[in-house]
Amino acid sequence: MAQIIDGKAIAADIRREVAAEVAALSSTHNAVPGLAVVIVGSRKDSQTYVNMKRKACAEVGIRSVDVDLPEDISEAALVAEVHRLNADPAVHGILVQLPLPKHINEEKILTEISIEKDVDGFHPLNIGKLAMKGREPLFVPCTPKGCMELLSRSGVTVKGKRAVVVGRSNIVGLPVSLLLLKADATVSIVHSRTPDPESIVREADIVIAAAGQAMMVSKGTGSSQALRLSMLGRTRSMTLPGSLGTGLLVMWILER
């Protein structure tokens, strides 16, 4: 039977480590890290994620700077807000929750965030450095980074493995592929235009499914597919999504 990676336990360990770092910063430098979490509009899912981020800040001692903006804010006013946060010395990181309303150019906003405060790692310079050999971004997108932490803290060696990523989004699929490549995996990306994705997934040692769309590989995706592989005796370990998300971000490591 497959071993389920206990993501909640690993997250609790990481939060304890971050809390200790924050406490050390505060006692040695009398400095409290500040994170601005910006939300535009009132999408229910975005509000849930933003609330989780703000709560997580409070739990580890990071000062959360809450910026809630109306759905009809103009692009120019949002840029001005980002510039204000860039200039605020008490704000060390800025997260602008995505997606933004349709009338706002997401690329423009992400480019305006100072790269030193771009904790999401979505600024084109940070993503560009992530893609380049011998360069390191200042920050890496958090869900891909989380996948890599789950692998390393579960004792999985990535070097030399065949990794298949299902999905090519800017937020998860693309950056996790780049991180796996940097960690010396041989990486394939399966997406909506890939013919016969199942044959590619079959060859994998590590599969990260982040497609945002069901039935992409074969009947059933995400957790149901992981469970099927587990029953076939090929899954060594896997993560299963919790109750909050779409159930489409799943990772599994296969037996050869």
Ligand X SMILES: Nc1nc2c(c(=O)[nH]1)N[C@@H](CN(C=O)c1ccc(C(=O)N[C@@H](CCC(=O)O)C(=O)O)cc1)CN2
Active-site annotation, residues: 53, 97, 120
Based on the shown chain and the rule CB under 6 A, indicate whether residue 101 belongs to the binding site for ligand X: no
Judge whether 158 and 185 are in contact, CB under 8 Å.
Answer: yes
Find the binder of ligand X among 95, 100, 166, 211 (CB under 6 A).
95
> What is the SS3 assignment for 247?
coil
Dump strand ranges (E) for the chain.
3-4, 34-40, 63-69, 93-96, 162-166, 186-190, 206-210, 235-239, 249-254
- Which x/- pattern over 179-198 shows residues binding ligand X (rule: CB under 6 A)? --------------------
CB 241, min distance to ligand X, A: 3
CB atoms under 10 Å from CB of 150, counted, come to 20
CB 7, min distance to ligand X, A: 7
Contacts for 52 with CB less than 8 Å, ≥ 6 apart: 244
CA 103 – CA 106 distance, rounded (Å): 9
Find the binder of ligand X among 143, 170, 186, 194 (CB under 6 A).
143
Find the binder of ligand X among 39, 109, 171, 217 (CB under 6 A).
171
Query: Rule CB under 6 A: which of 216-245 touch ligand X?
Result: 241-242, 244-245
Based on the shown chain and the rule CB under 6 A, indicate whether residue 140 belongs to the binding site for ligand X: no
Judge whether 152 and 135 are in contact, CB under 8 Å.
Answer: no
The residue ranges that bind ligand X (CB under 6 A) are: 49, 95-98, 120, 141-143, 171, 241-242, 244-249
